Amino acid sequence: MKTFKLSAKPRTSLGKKATKALRSEGLIPVVLNGGAIVDLPYTGTLNEGEKIVTIDNAGTKGLITTDLVVSQEAVRKLVYTPEIFAIELDVEGKTRMAVLKDIQFHPVKDTILHIDLLEVKEDKPVVIEVPVKLEGHAEGVKAGGKLTLSMKKLKVRAPYTAVPERLVINVDSLGLGKSMQVGDIHFDGLELVNAKNAVVCAVQLTRAARGAAAAAAK
């Protein structure tokens, strides 16, 4: 993946009123997930912007998350693109690596309301959606069929440093009326986590192909 550099500041004022004020200034609230899991009650010291979210019913375990704020302009090229990035997050001089987890948009204006990031480590696998690119000239297309891509992205599990910018799938051998499922595809160092029987791409029969097949059968 390419690296996207993003500057952020800790967010200490929470609540609807504070959030509305941020957005009016062209800023976006961000939550950085994936922090340390700690025992509760927590006796350590939290850094600015950090808080603990309880993650078990017994209330004995908590996850440290970090509330941040970034500018609308700073994330424009991160959000409005089909590309995926490893985000080099600069929080007041401290670098933390992350990937984009979720984005909440305004239902009418389509402006960004909230961003969730997931902190990543080189030795810890992460699940992320990667764009699919088809290459080659399918046998079925040569026979008059139409190649269709059903899944534009696939979910992979791997350390973020091993995740490619796109998954390139060769379709040369894909015949007329045939499909390629997730279970048919393999990439070194990557685990595909979509359903094995999910159809990624297929060569569909067209009217012309059906006509040619019927004529050949006579």
Q: Are residues 40 and 105 in the same domain?
A: yes
Q: Write the DSSP string, 83-129.
A: --EEEEEEETTEEEEEEEEEEEE-TTT--EEEEEEEE--TTSEEEEE
Average pLDDT over residues 83-101: 95
DSSP class of 47 = P
Instruction: Out of 83, 100, 120, pick the residue that ends a domain.
Output: 120
Q: Are residues 114 and 131 in the same domain?
A: no
* Residue 2 burial class via C-beta count within 10 angstroms: exposed 0-12, middle 13-18, buried 19 and up: exposed
For 61-91, write each residue's pLDDT tens digit: 999 999 999 999 999 999 999 899 999 999 9
Q: Are residues 157 and 87 in the same domain?
A: no
Q: Are residues 143 and 88 in the same domain?
A: no
Instruction: Out of 55, 85, 120, pick the residue that ends a domain.
Output: 120
| Phi, psi (rounded to 5 degrees) for 99 | -130, 160
Instruction: Out of 120, 141, 160, pick the residue that ends a domain.
Output: 120
Q: Are residues 78 and 163 in the same domain?
A: no
Q: Are residues 7 and 61 in the same domain?
A: yes
Looking up residue 206, the CATH number of its domain turns out to be 2.170.120.20
Q: Are residues 95 and 166 in the same domain?
A: no
Q: Using an 8 Å Cβ cutoff, are 170 and 138 in contact?
A: no
Q: Using an 8 Å Cβ cutoff, are 61 and 40 in contact?
A: yes
Give the range of the structural domain holding residue 192, as residue numbers without chain letter: 127-217
- Residue 115: name the closest of 50, 47, 188, 32 by CA: 32
Q: Are residues 203 and 185 in the same domain?
A: yes
- Residue 218's pLDDT is what? 63
Q: Are residues 184 and 81 in the same domain?
A: no
Tally of domains in the chain: 2
- Residue 39's pLDDT is what? 96
Radius of gyration of the chain (CA): 23
Q: Using an 8 Å Cβ cutoff, are 75 and 100 in contact?
A: no
The sign one gets for the Cα dihedral 53, 54, 60, 63 is negative
For 164-206, write each residue's pLDDT tens digit: 999 999 999 999 999 999 999 999 999 999 999 999 999 998 8
Q: Are residues 98 and 140 in the same domain?
A: no
Q: Are residues 140 and 210 in the same domain?
A: yes
- Residue 77's pLDDT is what? 92
Q: Which residues contact 138 (CB under 8 A, 6 or more apart)?
A: 145, 147, 171, 172, 173, 174, 175, 203
Q: Are residues 12 and 103 in the same domain?
A: yes
Looking up residue 91, the CATH number of its domain turns out to be 2.40.240.10
Percentage of the chain lying above the pLDDT 90 cut:
87
